[in-house]
Amino acid sequence: MYSRYIPPAKENAPPSRAQATPAAASTPSSTPYARYTPGQVPAPAPAPVQPPPAQPQRIVFNDDDFAPVDYSQNKRSIDDELTGAAEDKKSKKSRSKKSRDETPVEDIEEPGSKDSKSRKRKRADANQDAALSKDVPGEKDATSEPAPEASPVEPVAEPQVEPPTPTPPPAEEERKPKREKKKKRKQDDNEDIEMPDADADADDMRKRHKSVFEKVQKALQAKDAAAENASEEDEPEPEVEHGLEPLPQPEPVVFDASKLTYETLPPWLASPIRVGPDISRPFTELGISSESARVLESKGFKDAFAVQTAVLPLLLPSPDRQGDVVVAAPTGSGKTLSYVLPMVQDISKGRVTRLRALIVLPTRDLVQQVQQACEACAAAFSVSGGKKVKVGTAMGNRVFREEQSAVMGEEQRYYPRGYEQYLQKQSGFADPEESDDEAEDLDLQRTQPLPYHVVEHTSKVDVLICTPGRLVEHITKTPGFSLDYVRWLIVDEADKLLAQDFQQWLDTVTDKLNTGKPGARDFPGSNKSGVRKVILSATMTRDISLLNGLKLARPKLIVVEGTKAGEQSLPPLLKEFAIKVREPSLKPLFLLDLLNSKHMSAVGEDDTGKASAGSETSSDSESSSSESDSDADSDSYSSSDSSDDEGLPQPKHQHVPTTSTSKPSLTTTVLIFTKSNEAALRLSRLLALLSPTLGPLIGTLTSSTKTSRRARTLRAFAQGKTRILVASDLVSRGIDLPDLGHVVNYDVPLSETSYVHRVGRTARAGRGGCAWTLVEHAEARRFWREFAGEGKGKESGIVRAGKVERVRIGEGEMEEERVRAYEEALGRLAREAGGR
């Protein structure tokens, strides 16, 4: 349909395909616009077009397309004088004629002729111009190869143009009548103009005018008729419209690399409910009974924190139809209580124990931690006459059968029909039509029913706190485990849980929640119907594709001020420091120097309420170590070096004997992060070898440590028996270590998110805290740009109150004696590792 060529409709239309330079024409990706004729107004740049390859000879100039304006040349000049109406047609005609005149001449030109050379030079210049013009689409294609035609002197053969026979059809016989017609018209015109008698001029002129008017009128009528005919046809011929327009091309695929912005997010994400970080209200003002509030106060929860003040009213029963809630609030801001309180209060109003709430968390340690918060709240609501909410866990820390028994109970119920079905199933003759859900459960049944009885399964817990993998196992393998009564789905550390689809847990859970089976969560017409979903994180994703999987209903986003969904906000009282490690091979010694420095004294709050590092005058109540070990306080290494204990720590070299026999020097608690389990185990052993005084204070937490041992280690740390925890990233999320003073990034974390969660283990619940990062030379650029948000091309998305301070530890050369002791310790470590 595109083999037919239509001359350009406009003055500045691009030159024809047949006029294209040879190189341009021979380039497969070249366009019909590669040729540019100097002196013409450059055509507006069309889109790149893939031309029909090597078909210029088949291009036909069809006079019929211009039938309505078919006058002779001299006739048109008269028309021009008389009427402007014919102006357009005239110019079209003259252009088309010009185009027709040019094309065959060029096509049959002798390659070596002078005219040909000059024309080719012009064409080469034009091509160069076109190549330089960035606005011409396809210019790359036309000029990407060192085109020989670009040379102004070299004649170039026109490979696609067979010289003498440019347009074989239409046949000569068809052309003849046209030529004869033309000749005849010319004769008629000449007769009109050349009148022999001069006296008859005026008369002639009138006649001529009349004749011209008539012809114009006829032409216009003919044109109208043609237009009418054309519109009556089903589909107008596209070529009439196209001319030299680009051939239709598929839309280029454009990959949208743009990030979602607040403008492109759905309204609930774009316009969150913002909460000031300092807002606080008594729990009683938020719908918690005074008896319950008293119990909460006795457990240390006097007033609601900012996030709780905002979230509680949305989750506690209200006359409005309530929707789901997404919470983005910094680490340690009290997110756990914000969902546990309303959830437990709601469940405590029931009587029967059913599985009514699921809390999904990424690690076992977090499961245990949230379990404690739930138990505290369960106790608080049971005093005000409510049901004592039963809380269970499923995290894979015990054998599955044991966990099943802890979560689900069994009892024998007299039910002859069900027993019959059971027997049929056992013998393999069950009628699938007849089997009901109960019978399906029999598949999974473990206990033999008594005659005419069925084993009935009942939930032993109201709230199940679980890891996603174990939850899926119970859904698929535990008899009677059902989500039909689940009214609360809580996903804490949501960005992690959504990004890593553990056993496709979310699909499995949402499928089970949307079964359409009538369940106790459905109260027609009630605002309590359905499942309330609460999604939380300190580093909440705003990736819609991830959030979509949650199938949220009428969601609201709560953002604690200073945090944006998608951004990472640090606690306001956190102080951050970076220590340059001049000799990476001696990095453990730098760590040891830090641990033994005055910077590691208790972290408290100065008069201004700001956290202070290295302060000897910090409040005792802020330091677990000061409560638990007064001997260590009085004799501490730091207390002997308290000259500048206010404000920021000053760079100072501490000389620490590696075989010190003095009493434990640490008056605070420290959590040290390494890059792997292996690194954590090695480092804690090395520290103990290098500093025997610190040895008894060191604990290790890795994902390869048994859960029970991890729990013991965390308990010992909470009790102040150990003061240094060396850990892998396992505990970087969510873990709440009471009054942790310092976090040390021994290894620089892999991501911003990891940095935020690691350092967020300190400066929690409105307290101060310090984060230290040991930075080797090779890591400095990345650290300052990505994490500290300083220097060239700063990229950090971390929102912080202050700046990361530079601190120097261990000025000058390391003493030889220390280095030797370090090498010995390394050797011993290697021997121990080899002997294992």
Ligand X SMILES: Nc1ncnc2c1ncn2[C@@H]1O[C@H](COP(=O)(O)OP(=O)(O)OP(=O)(O)O)[C@@H](O)[C@H]1O
Applying the rule CB under 6 A, the residues between 26 and 65 that interact with ligand X are none
In angstroms, what is the minimal distance from the CB of 765 to ligand X?
Answer: 3
Q: Which of 335, 470, 598, 758 binds ligand X (CB under 6 A)?
A: 335
760 contacts ligand X (rule: CB under 6 A) = yes
332 contacts ligand X (rule: CB under 6 A) = yes
| Nearer of residues 103 and 539 to ligand X, judged by Cβ | 539
| Nearer of residues 75 and 761 to ligand X, judged by Cβ | 761
At 793, list the tokens.
């091309």
How buried is residue 81: exposed, middle or buried, by Cβ count under 10 Å (0-12/13-18/19+)?
exposed
In angstroms, what is the minimal distance from the CB of 757 to ligand X?
Answer: 7
Q: Which of 765, 780, 814, 819 binds ligand X (CB under 6 A)?
A: 765
Considering only 233-241, 384-392, 435-443, 760-768, which stretch makes contact with ligand X by CB under 6 A?
760-768
| Nearer of residues 736 and 786 to ligand X, judged by Cβ | 736
Give residue 412's identity as a one-letter amino acid code. Q
| Nearer of residues 331 and 353 to ligand X, judged by Cβ | 331
Q: Which of 343, 443, 461 is closest to 392 using CA atoms?
A: 461
Q: Which of 559, 542, 444 is closest to 494 using CA atoms?
A: 542
What one-character-per-residue DSSP string does 562-593 give? T--TTSEE--TTEEEEEEEES-GGGHHHHHHH
8 A C-beta contact, residue 369 and residue 566: no
| Nearer of residues 619 and 642 to ligand X, judged by Cβ | 619
Considering only 314-322, 544-552, 759-767, 770-778, which stretch makes contact with ligand X by CB under 6 A?
759-767
337 contacts ligand X (rule: CB under 6 A) = yes
333 contacts ligand X (rule: CB under 6 A) = yes
| Nearer of residues 564 and 785 to ligand X, judged by Cβ | 564
Q: Fill in the DSSP letter of residue 728.
A: -
691 contacts ligand X (rule: CB under 6 A) = no
CA distance 402 to 252: 59
| Three-state SS at 352 | coil
| Nearer of residues 574 and 689 to ligand X, judged by Cβ | 574
| Nearer of residues 312 and 688 to ligand X, judged by Cβ | 312
Considering only 150-158, 165-173, 225-233, 326-334, which stretch makes contact with ligand X by CB under 6 A?
326-334
| Number of neighbouring beta carbons within 10 Å of residue 163 | 13
734 contacts ligand X (rule: CB under 6 A) = yes
At 779, list the tokens.
């890591």
In angstroms, what is the minimal distance from the CB of 331 to ligand X?
Answer: 4
Q: Which of 641, 636, 609 is closest to 625 using CA atoms?
A: 636
| Three-state SS at 601 | coil
| Nearer of residues 337 and 374 to ligand X, judged by Cβ | 337
In angstroms, what is the minimal distance from the CB of 495 to ligand X?
Answer: 11
89 contacts ligand X (rule: CB under 6 A) = no
Total residues at interface with ligand X (CB under 6 A): 20
CA distance 464 to 108: 89
Q: Which of 677, 682, 684 is closest to 728 using CA atoms?
A: 677
In angstroms, what is the minimal distance from the CB of 494 to ligand X?
Answer: 11
767 contacts ligand X (rule: CB under 6 A) = no
In angstroms, what is the minimal distance from the CB of 698 to ligand X?
Answer: 23
Q: Which residues partner with 458 through β-bridges?
A: 409
Applying the rule CB under 6 A, the residues between 525 and 544 that interact with ligand X are 538
CA distance 450 to 414: 8
Q: Which of 534, 377, 335 is closest to 462 using CA atoms?
A: 377
At 326, list the tokens.
């997404």
CA distance 392 to 398: 13
Q: Which of 158, 576, 736, 752 binds ligand X (CB under 6 A)?
A: 736
Q: Which of 685, 764, 800, 818 binds ligand X (CB under 6 A)?
A: 764
CA angle 709, 630, 720 (to 5 degrees): 15
Q: Which of 316, 599, 356, 376 is closest to 464 using CA atoms?
A: 356
| Nearer of residues 30 and 345 to ligand X, judged by Cβ | 345
CA distance 457 to 371: 24
| Nearer of residues 34 and 312 to ligand X, judged by Cβ | 312
334 contacts ligand X (rule: CB under 6 A) = yes
CA distance 600 to 614: 6
CA 435 from centre of chain: 46
In angstroms, what is the minimal distance from the CB of 489 to ligand X?
Answer: 17
Site mask, ligand X, residues 271-310, x = CB under 6 A?
-----------------------------xxx-xx--x--
CA distance 338 to 312: 6
In angstroms, what is the minimal distance from the CB of 811 to ligand X?
Answer: 35
In angstroms, what is the minimal distance from the CB of 370 to ligand X?
Answer: 9
At 520, list the tokens.
């106790």
| CA–CA distances in Å: residue 390 to residues 350, 375, 398, 546 | 12, 8, 19, 31
In angstroms, what is the minimal distance from the CB of 535 to ligand X?
Answer: 13
Considering only 4-12, 331-339, 351-359, 450-458, which stretch makes contact with ligand X by CB under 6 A?
331-339
CA distance 239 to 378: 79
8 A C-beta contact, residue 459 and residue 354: yes
364 contacts ligand X (rule: CB under 6 A) = no
In angstroms, what is the minimal distance from the CB of 662 to ligand X?
Answer: 33
331 contacts ligand X (rule: CB under 6 A) = yes
Considering only 324-332, 347-355, 423-431, 546-554, which stretch makes contact with ligand X by CB under 6 A?
324-332
Give residue 138's identity as a one-letter amino acid code. G
In angstroms, what is the minimal distance from the CB of 279 to ligand X?
Answer: 12
Q: Which of 31, 127, 309, 336 binds ligand X (CB under 6 A)?
A: 336
At 193, list the tokens.
């103009």
379 contacts ligand X (rule: CB under 6 A) = no
In angstroms, what is the minimal distance from the CB of 733 to ligand X?
Answer: 7
| Nearer of residues 300 and 518 to ligand X, judged by Cβ | 300
Matching residue, tokens 């986003």: 557
In angstroms, what is the minimal distance from the CB of 371 to ligand X?
Answer: 13
| Number of neighbouring beta carbons within 10 Å of residue 649 | 24
376 contacts ligand X (rule: CB under 6 A) = no
In angstroms, what is the minimal distance from the CB of 636 to ligand X?
Answer: 26
In angstroms, what is the minimal distance from the CB of 372 to ligand X?
Answer: 9
In angstroms, what is the minimal distance from the CB of 332 to ligand X?
Answer: 4
How buried is residue 10: exposed, middle or buried, by Cβ count under 10 Å (0-12/13-18/19+)?
middle
| Nearer of residues 292 and 333 to ligand X, judged by Cβ | 333
339 contacts ligand X (rule: CB under 6 A) = no
Applying the rule CB under 6 A, the residues between 184 and 203 that interact with ligand X are none
588 contacts ligand X (rule: CB under 6 A) = no
In angstroms, what is the minimal distance from the CB of 466 to ligand X?
Answer: 17
| Nearer of residues 571 and 664 to ligand X, judged by Cβ | 571
Q: Fill in the DSSP letter of residue 386.
A: -
Look at the chain and count its residues. 836
| Nearer of residues 305 and 419 to ligand X, judged by Cβ | 305
For 233-278, the three-class secondary structure string (H helix, E strand, C coil) is: CCCCCHHHHHCCCCCCCCCCCCCCCCCCCCCCCCHHHHCCEEECCC
Give residue 309's identity as a one-letter amino acid code. T
Q: Fill in the DSSP letter of residue 784.
A: I
| Nearer of residues 337 and 395 to ligand X, judged by Cβ | 337
8 A C-beta contact, residue 671 and residue 737: yes
At 748, list the tokens.
């620089």
Which residues lie near ligand X (CB under 6 A)?
300-302, 304-305, 308, 329, 331-337, 538, 734, 736, 760, 764-765
